[in-house]
Every structure is written in structure tokens, then in C-alpha cells.
């Protein structure tokens, strides 16, 4: 496994494949339970006894407090990786597929579905951009033939056994493979592997989708790999292209799995808004995020879902997030948003992800176990989550930190070497844990760290309180109401980061901001109804939901005291003209905050104006004084001149229906 966020765009290779989407007709003879939208809903998941035994072993060697935590998670479900042909029958690394499925049948409670998480991971030329999980099959035609005949076919034959028809099998399809074709296609081994990745994934999808109780989830890397628009768009297109090469088309893919074996946080609680500016720059422009909008896996899955649906995937497409190692708890977890005005300091102090770089994928120091496996987790509606799952079994190595000979094809990747200054990580030390065994092997020191740094804390304990958006302001009320302004007050909002101010909306228009719990909305029209709401903001950029709406009608009459007189003139040429309006206050009282309007009959449009703020809706043109300007109040008997440039399409008759603040004016 590598998790590499290089920002190169995949070269597009032409697909000479017919775009067929045939209905599935050939189901296995004995009907399995129906294929549902979300296999995890209402289901339990398979607990791998071998992983549980590794955890129990670690517990016997740990101090009492740690052992209690370890034992508290040893019954969590983890995925079974078919990482070699020999894994199907069973080998020195673990029991075979049938053995797991037989165990799963024993774990299944009558009447409750059970999901087995299975990882399909043996493509020809596997892990083309890294070395730690290189595989047994070469990126050649012969390698692909073996992948089909000796790997996918036997797995499919076992899964199709009627004995297992009441299990739900959720297959994570080939971690890192298609994502590598997006960002690392310029790397020779990835170029070599590309056609075999496409053909192998298509073959796996076809074979596995034909089994009704199997659910296919395509690996979709993570936010720090594919989040940039230059990567995410091409990735969604590649997923769609591959889907369309399959017999069942889009239907052969039930969903996507993000963060497989990676440690990217579910959420960055102190960096909720990638566009918030600090020191004048958006947070996403910080070195750590390199302009990526997606800081975490909730961002990424929501982003990806929208792209996939736009590419033609059905709305029912579900997302999984591997949360086995993305907790980032422990003493290094921030407990407040940074107050620094230096952007990089702000980001580095605020982020929970403590890796040196988002591309650090191998046994990262500081990581912790994340959310426990859970179906349809609430609170992330935009992400369309089917479940949090543990695909990478916590405690299994990502790669050896030194060269260890083996017969699995795995090699020494310096990204797993803690002494290596990695060019791919901006010339920083990798941050990998020392003394790591080969990928997939039990790495107890890492497991201890993951348990210690779990977030949420294992076994209840005290969780540091993450920030939540401020509460919505309450008690919005109007104080003084005049014919042009309304004084508003409300009750303060709270959160654990600190409310820094409020935005006041008039309808859906931002009317202004306030640092306190009061605001006076000005520039209103007399005898007019308005609706106000208020939202609270905090230092991290969280914004509350709106307060309850308050409807207010301004007072007064629309009559400017006394009256008004208007004189209009225009200079017209082919399609343009300059209009001028002289507005006289013919009353005996000052005319403040006037609103001049008139109608054009020939489709004329006002383009820019002076001495007033001009706007136009359809035929109606409105001019109001620039707040606080010299002509905001017209004293009795005086005239102000305002004007604009406009365009017309041939006929340019003078406007009609001049009014000031709703009151008709005399023309002259």
C-alpha cells in the first residue's frame, strides 16, 4: 500500500470498449437474500478471530490500563485481506477464505444480516508507485491471466457457494490501483500496470457483482491524494469509464471506500472552513493543504459523491470510510483553534493530523484508532456514508522499515524508514515508526500507539471536547423601528471555540455584521415588510444555523414630506446613451435616504451610474444615495443631479412613472 498525493493528472487512455449496461440475468441457482442498498444497515460485521487473537496477545504484554482498552476493541470487525493467491486456501499468514466465511456463519445471529469485509488485493503490478506492497503478479498479459484464473475465479467460486448466500460480502476492490493511474501515471511501473489495473478491476467487478450477496466498493484513495479538483474530476471520470466497461455498468459498483489503510482524519474539527482567511490568505493555501479544498474524509466523500453522480453513478451510491487508524487523539491533539495570524502556524497548531505531510503513508507516528465501525453514521448527510469500517486491521504494518527478504514480492520502501529524508514529503523525515516488520505483519509497537492515541478514546474515558458550530442566536427582537431603519437585538450564542461575531441577513441578503448582540439595519423603505435572521460565527470559521426569522414592517408613509420634481435628459447614439436626472426637493422638509425609481419602456438597460447607487430589475430602475454621501439628504428647494450610462436597441424614449420613495413626482 502506498498513499501518494502527487498532483499529476492521469493521461487519458482511449477506451475501445462498448458502453454496455446489461441487466443482470444470470443469478446463482439458489436465491440469496436480496441485494440491498446499504448492506451495513441493520447488520453486524464479521470479527476476524485471528486479529482478535493478536490483540489478546498484545493485551497480555501490556500494562493493566492499556490491556483493558485493547480487550475493549478486540471484538471489533476488521477486514480480511486476500493479498496473495495462497491466501484463498490459507497460508502461514492466515486462514483461508472458506475458513473465514465458515466462522462468519457461526457469528451470524438468526434474523440479523452479517457483513464480511473482504479486500481484493492482488492486481498485476500491484502498488505501482511504492515498493512495500508490491505483489506476486507481474504487470504482463500472463500476470493478468493468472489474476483472473488463479485469484478472482477461485474467490468468486467460493463466494457463490450457496452455503454462504445469507452472508453479505462487502468487497473493497484493489486499494490504490485506479488512484495511482490518476496521479502517478508518469511513473514507469504505473504506466506498465495501467491496462492491467483497468482490465483486472473490470474482471473483478463483473465476477463479484454476478453474486447477489456480494457488494463492490471501489477504493477511492483519500482527501490528501485525490481531493484537488485536478485529481478528483479525472478520478470520477476514470471510475465511470471502468464502470461502463463492466457487464452491469454502474450497477456493478455499490459504492466507494475512502482512506483505506490511511490515517487521514474523518474531520479536522478546528479547520472546518478551508476558505476562511488568516493573515489575508485562505486556510487551504497553507503549505500543509497546498490549495486542496478537502481537509478530511468527510469533505472528500461528499465531494466525490457529487462528482460520481454527475458522471452517471446512481444516487444510491454509498461511501465507506476506513476509520481504523485516523483517530489522532492523545496528548498532541489540539484542544483549541490557533490564535496565530501566521497562516502556516495557524494550520499547524489547529490540525489534528500530526503527520509531517499528508503524503506520509507508512506507519505514521502519532496516529490513533478512529471511530469504531458503525453503519450509517449520522451527522454527515452530504457524504452519503454506508458505514465506518476497519479495513486496515489496526496493528498490521504498512511496510518494513528496513530491507527484509520475503517471498511475497514485497520490497523495502524508504517511506517506511524513519531515518529517511523523503523528497516526496518536501524533504522531511518520513515520521514512520521504527522497527516495523513487512506490510501486513503484526507490529505491536504501532498497535500500542494506536490504542493510546485512539479518538474517540477507547472505553468511554474523557474525550477532549471538539468544537462544534456555535449555537444559533435566540430571542431576535426589534427595538426602534423607523421608516428607514430597524434596531435588532438577540441573545448571545455559545460554543467551545468562542463566538467572534454575527452575520445579519435581510431575507437571503447579508445586511451586515456585528461583533456584539445588536445591529441596526439601515437603508430600508418606509412601510415595507422585512424578514431578518442572524448567524453566529466562531474563530475557526464555524457558522451557526440561522436564528429564528423576525418579520418587521417599517413605519411611516411613503410620502417624502412635501414633494419632488424630476427633470430627465439623455444623449443618445447608436446603441448607447447617457441619462441624467435632476431631482428637486419641492417640500419644506429635508428629503433623507430617498429612493428614486422610474420605468424604461423600450428595453433600455442601465450599465453604470454616478452620484447614486443604481440598480435595475426588468424595466424598473432604482437609484438610492450612496450611504453617507453629500446627496443623501436633499434640503428643501435644492436639486441634485445624478446620471448613468445605458444601452438601448434602437428606440430610446424617456422613462415614465418617476417616484421618490413611492411618491409620484412632477416632471419639469
- CA distance linking residue 621 with residue 56, whole number of Å: 77
Cell of 631: 446627496
- The H-or-E segment that residue 179 falls in is helix 177-183
Q: How far is the CB of 81 from ligand BGC (least distance, A)?
A: 3
Of 586, 655, 668, residue with least CA distance to 616: 655
Q: How far is the CB of 133 from ligand BGC (least distance, A)?
A: 3
Cell of 536: 453566529
Rank residues 180 and 439 by Cβ distance to ligand BGC and give the closer one.
439
Q: How far is the CB of 134 from ligand BGC (least distance, A)?
A: 9
- CA distance linking residue 218 with residue 250, whole number of Å: 12
Of 565, 582, 593, residue with least CA distance to 643: 582
- CA distance linking residue 297 with residue 266, whole number of Å: 5
CA 545 to chain centre: 19
Is residue 417 among the annotated active site residues? no
Rank residues 215 and 443 by Cβ distance to ligand BGC and give the closer one.
443
Q: How far is the CB of 440 from ligand BGC (least distance, A)?
A: 3
Cell of 604: 433600455
- CA distance linking residue 34 with residue 26, whole number of Å: 14
Q: How far is the CB of 15 from ligand BGC (least distance, A)?
A: 29
DSSP result, 222-260: -HHHH-SHHHHHHHHHHHHHHHHHSTTGGGG--EEEEST
Rank residues 56 and 641 by Cβ distance to ligand BGC and give the closer one.
56
For residue 525, give every residue at least 6 positions away whose Cβ sits within 8 Å of its Cβ, in sequence order, or none.
483, 484, 554, 558, 595, 661, 662
Alpha-carbon Rg for the chain, nearest whole angstrom, is 32
Q: How far is the CB of 189 from ligand BGC (least distance, A)?
A: 16
For residue 393, give the DSSP letter.
P
For residue 627, give the DSSP letter.
T
Q: How far is the CB of 114 from ligand BGC (least distance, A)?
A: 21
Catalytic entry in 122, 127, 176, 296:
176
Rank residues 296 and 398 by Cβ distance to ligand BGC and give the closer one.
398
In the complex, residue closest to ligand BGC by CB: 440
Q: Which residue(s) pair with 642 in the sheet?
A: 581
Rank residues 397 and 652 by Cβ distance to ligand BGC and give the closer one.
397
Q: What are phi and psi of 106, to 5 degrees?
A: -70, -35
Q: What are phi and psi of 422, to 5 degrees?
A: -95, 120
Rank residues 40 and 442 by Cβ distance to ligand BGC and give the closer one.
442
**CB-CB contact of 116 with 46 (8 Å):** yes
Residue ranges in contact with ligand BGC by CB under 6 A: 1, 81, 83, 133, 261, 392-393, 396, 398, 439-440
Rank residues 261 and 499 by Cβ distance to ligand BGC and give the closer one.
261
Q: How far is the CB of 265 from ligand BGC (least distance, A)?
A: 20
Rank residues 79 and 347 by Cβ distance to ligand BGC and give the closer one.
79
For residue 623, give every residue at least 6 positions away whose Cβ sits within 8 Å of its Cβ, in sequence order, or none.
581, 595, 596, 597, 609, 612, 613, 614, 615, 642, 644
**CB-CB contact of 596 with 624 (8 Å):** yes
The total of other beta-carbon atoms located within 10 Å of residue 47's CB is 17
Report angle CA 24, 28, 34 to the nearest 5 degrees. 70
**CB-CB contact of 246 with 209 (8 Å):** yes
Rank residues 83 and 495 by Cβ distance to ligand BGC and give the closer one.
83
Q: How far is the CB of 207 from ligand BGC (least distance, A)?
A: 21
Q: Which residues carry out catalysis?
A: 176
Amino acid at each position: 500500500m502506498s498513499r501518494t498525493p502527487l498532483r499529476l493528472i492521469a493521461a487519458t487512455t482511449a477506451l475501445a470498449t462498448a458502453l454496455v449496461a446489461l441487466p443482470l440475468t444470470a443469478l446463482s441457482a439458489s436465491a440469496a437474500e436480496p441485494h440491498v442498498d446499504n448492506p451495513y444497515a441493520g447488520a453486524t460485521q464479521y470479527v476476524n478471530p485471528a486479529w482478535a487473537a493478536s490483540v489478546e496477545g498484545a493485551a497480555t504484554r501490556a500494562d493493566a490500563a492499556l490491556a483493558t482498552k485493547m480487550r475493549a476493541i478486540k471484538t471489533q470487525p476488521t477486514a480480511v485481506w486476500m493479498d496473495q493467491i495462497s491466501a484463498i486456501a490459507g497460508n502461514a499468514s492466515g486462514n483461508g477464505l472458506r475458513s473465514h466465511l465458515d466462522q462468519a456463519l457461526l457469528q451470524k445471529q438468526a434474523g440479523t444480516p452479517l457483513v464480511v469485509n473482504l479486500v481484493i488485493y492482488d492486481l498485476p503490478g500491484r502498488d505501482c508507485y511504492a515498493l512495500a506492497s508490491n505483489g506476486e503478479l507481474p504487470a504482463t498479459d500472463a500476470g493478468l491471466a493468472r489474476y483472473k484464473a488463479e485469484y478472482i475465479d477461485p474467490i468468486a467460486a467460493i463466494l457463490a457457494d450457496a452455503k454462504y448466500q445469507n452472508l453479505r460480502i462487502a468487497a473493497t476492490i484493489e486499494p490504490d490501483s485506479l488512484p495511482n493511474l490518476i496521479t502517478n501515471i508518469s511513473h514507469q511501473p504505473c504506466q506498465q500496470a495501467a491496462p492491467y489495473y483497468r482490465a483486472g478491476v473490470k474482471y473483478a467487478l463483473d465476477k463479484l457483482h454476478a453474486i447477489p450477496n456480494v457488494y463492490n466498493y471501489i477504493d477511492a484513495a483519500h482527501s490528501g491524494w485525490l481531493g484537488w479538483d485536478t485529481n478528483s474530476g479525472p478520478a470520477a471520470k476514470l471510475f465511470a469509464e471502468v464502470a461502463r466497461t463492466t457487464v452491469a455498468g454502474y450497477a456493478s459498483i455499490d459504492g466507494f471506500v475512502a482512506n483505506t489503510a490511511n490515517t487521514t482524519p474523518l474531520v479536522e474539527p478546528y479547520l472546518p472552513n478551508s476558505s476562511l482567511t488568516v493573515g489575508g490568505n485562505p486556510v487551504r493555501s497553507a503549505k500543509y493543504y497546498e490549495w486542496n479544498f478537502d481537509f478530511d474524509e468527510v469533505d472528500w466523500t461528499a465531494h466525490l459523491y457529487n462528482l460520481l453522480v454527475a458522471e452517471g453513478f446512481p444516487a444510491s451510491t454509498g461511501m465507506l470510510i476506513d476509520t481504523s487508524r485516523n483517530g489522532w487523539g492523545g496528548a498532541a491533539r489540539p484542544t483549541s483553534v490557533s490564535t496565530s495570524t501566521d497562516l502556516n502556524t495557524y494550520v499547524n497548531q489547529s490540525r489534528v493530523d500530526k503527520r509531517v505531510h499528508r503524503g506520509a503513508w507508512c506507519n505514521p507516528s502519532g496516529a490513533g484508532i478512529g471511530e469504531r465501525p458503525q453503519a450509517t453514521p449520522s451527522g454527515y448527510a452530504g457524504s452519503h456514508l454506508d458505514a465506518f469500517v476497519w479495513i486496515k486491521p489496526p496493528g498490521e504494518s504498512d511496510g518494513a522499515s528496513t530491507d527484509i527478504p520475503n517471498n511475497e514480492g514485497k520490497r523495502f520502501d524508504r517511506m517506511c524508514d524513519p531515518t529517511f529524508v523523503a523528497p516526496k514529503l518536501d524533504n522531511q523525515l518520513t515520521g514512520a515508526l521504527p522497527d516495523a516488520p513487512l506490510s501486513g505483519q503484526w507490529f505491536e509497537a504501532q498497535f500500542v500507539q494506536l490504542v493510546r492515541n485512539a479518538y474517540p478514546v477507547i472505553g468511554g474515558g474523557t474525550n477532549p471536547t471538539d468544537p462544534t458550530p456555535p449555537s444559533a442566536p435566540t430571542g431576535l427582537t426589534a427595538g426602534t423601528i423607523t421608516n428607514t431603519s430597524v434596531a435588532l437585538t438577540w441573545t448571545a450564542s455559545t460554543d467551545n471555540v468562542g463566538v467572534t461575531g454575527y452575520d445579519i441577513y435581510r431575507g437571503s441578503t447579508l445586511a451586515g455584521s456585528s461583533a456584539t448582540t445588536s445591529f441596526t439595519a439601515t437603508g430600508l423603505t418606509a412601510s415595507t415588510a422585512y424578514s431578518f435572521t442572524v448567524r453566529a460565527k466562531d474563530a475557526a470559521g464555524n457558522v451557526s444555523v440561522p436564528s429564528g426569522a423576525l418579520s418587521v414592517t417599517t413605519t411611516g408613509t411613503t410620502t417624502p414630506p412635501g414633494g419632488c420634481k424630476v427633470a430627465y435628459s439623455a444623449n443618445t447614439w447608436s446603441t448607447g446613451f447617457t441619462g441624467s436626472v435632476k431631482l428637486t426637493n419641492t417640500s419644506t422638509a429635508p428629503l433623507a435616504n430617498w429612493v428614486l425609481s422610474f420605468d424604461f419602456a423600450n428595453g433600455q438597460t442601465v450599465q453604470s451610474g454616478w452620484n447614486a447607487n443604481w440598480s435595475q430589475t426588468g424595466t424598473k430602475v432604482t437609484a438610492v444615495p450612496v450611504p453617507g454621501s453629500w446627496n443623501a439628504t436633499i434640503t428643501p428647494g435644492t436639486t441634485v443631479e445624478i446620471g448613468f450610462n445605458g444601452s438601448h436597441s434602437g428606440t430610446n424614449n424617456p422613462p415614465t412613472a418617476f417616484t421618490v420613495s413611492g411618491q409620484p413626482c412632477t416632471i419639469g
